Amino acid sequence: DTGVSQNPRHKITKRGQNVTFRCDPISEHNRLYWYRQTLGQGPEFLTYFQNEAQLEKSRLLSDRFSAERPKGSFSTLEIQRTEQGDSAMYLCASSFISGTRRLSYNEQFFGPGTRLTVL
């Protein structure tokens, strides 16, 4: 399977605990995105990387959230001191941007998501 993969698929944790999610993008993709989706809503952008550089962070990404993409391949999203409001689906997506493509086109391929439940 050469799609975007995310682990774990489900995570249940107690309030105050730290959790870490992993995303493996499509291998040749140089951009990686994190989104959060709460029940009944569309995904909301959190942050994105181009290669290993984190280029943009949403104001939704509080100080308790940190994302890394150390070698420009897989990425991790860590939430420290989880709160019940962090319960959501966390989606990862990847895309490939090159100078030869139309600048306005950026198809993002999504992974299956990690569903976090904070008790």
Partner 1 sequence: AQKITQTQPGMFVQEKEAVTLDCTYDTSDPSYGLFWYKQPSSGEMIFLIYQGSYDQQNATEGRYSLNFQKARKSANLVISASQLGDSAMYFCAMREVSPGSSASKIIFGSGTRLSIRP
**Residue of 55, 62, 117, 119 that binds partner 1 (CB under 8 A):** 55
Strands 10-13 and 114-118: parallel
Q: Which stretch binds partner 1 (CB under 8 A): 19-27, 63-71, 75-83, 101-109?
A: 101-109
CA pair distance 44, 38, nearest whole angstrom: 9
Does residue 27 interact with partner 1 by CB under 8 A? no
Structure tokens at 37: 């989706």
In order of 4, 12, 102, 105, the CA distances from 36 in angstroms are 16, 16, 27, 22
Does residue 29 interact with partner 1 by CB under 8 A? no
Residue ranges binding partner 1 (CB under 8 A): 31, 33, 40-45, 48, 55-56, 58, 89, 91, 93, 97, 102-113, 115
